[in-house]
Amino acid sequence: MKIRISSGTFVAPVEELTGAFPPMFSNVTNRMSEADTRTTKRILLFVELRNTGRSPIEVNTASIEVGPQGSSIPFLDKENAFPLKLEPASTRHFKITAFEALNILTRGKIDGAGWFTAVAHLGDGSTVRAEKLSVQATLDAVASFDEKLRKDS
C-alpha cells in the first residue's frame, strides 16, 4: 500500500474554476489575512491511495494532517465512503484546498504549519503515511508561478 500527497497551483481560486473541485467542507471559518486567503485558495492538495499488493486492502479512514501539531481531519467524499476496499493495483483519489486544511487544522495560522501529509488507517490495524509536503515550499511554488505569469505577460 502506498500513499502520496502532491499539490497543484491554479491561476484563480479553486472554487472559481469549472466547479470540478468543490470544497470538502461547506462551512469553513476564515481566520487568515486576505493575502493568505487568496494564495491558499489556489492550492489544491491531491492525495492518492494505491494498492500495490496482490490482495485487497480495507482502508478504514484517510486524512490530511498538518504538522508539527499533528492535527488531522478525515477526508469526506461521497464517492469514496469509508471503510473502502482497494482491490490490487487500484487507486483512490482525494483532494482538499490548502485554505480548508490550514483554517481547520491551524485556525489559519500559516506560520505554525510546517508540513502537510496524508495518513491512511488500514483494516489490519496498520497506518501508512505519505511523505511530508512542506507548507512553505507549497506557498513558494505559488509565488514562483505568479512571477512566471508576470514575466510571460
Q: How far is CA 41 from the centre of its chain?
A: 12
What is the per-residue pLDDT across 69-94, written as a single tens digit (0 to 9) for each? 888 988 877 777 889 999 999 999 88
Q: Does domain 2-152 have CATH number 1.10.150?
A: no
Cis peptide before 83 (omega within 30 of 0): yes
Torsional sign, CA 42, 23, 131, 1: negative
Q: Which amino acid would we find at residue 34?
A: E
CB 117 within 8 A of CB 5: yes
pLDDT of amino acid 30: 86
Residue closest to 104 by CA, chosen among 29, 40, 3? 29
Q: Residue 50: pLDDT above 90?
A: yes
What order do you get walking across the sheet with 91-97 strand by strand?
A: 2-9, 43-50, 91-97
Q: What is the mean pLDDT of residues 59-71?
A: 91
Give the mean pLDDT of the chain. Answer: 87
Residue closest to 4 by CA, chosen among 54, 60, 45? 45
CB 82 within 8 A of CB 74: yes
pLDDT: which is higher, 56 or 16 = 56
What is the per-residue pLDDT across 130-152, written as a single tens digit (0 to 9) for each? 999 999 999 998 888 889 888 98
CB 85 within 8 A of CB 57: yes
Record the cell numbers describing residue 120, joined without a space.
491512511
Q: Where are the domains of the chain?
A: 2-152
Residue closest to 120 by CA, chosen among 76, 89, 75? 75
Cis peptide before 22 (omega within 30 of 0): no
Q: Residue 29: pLDDT above 90?
A: no
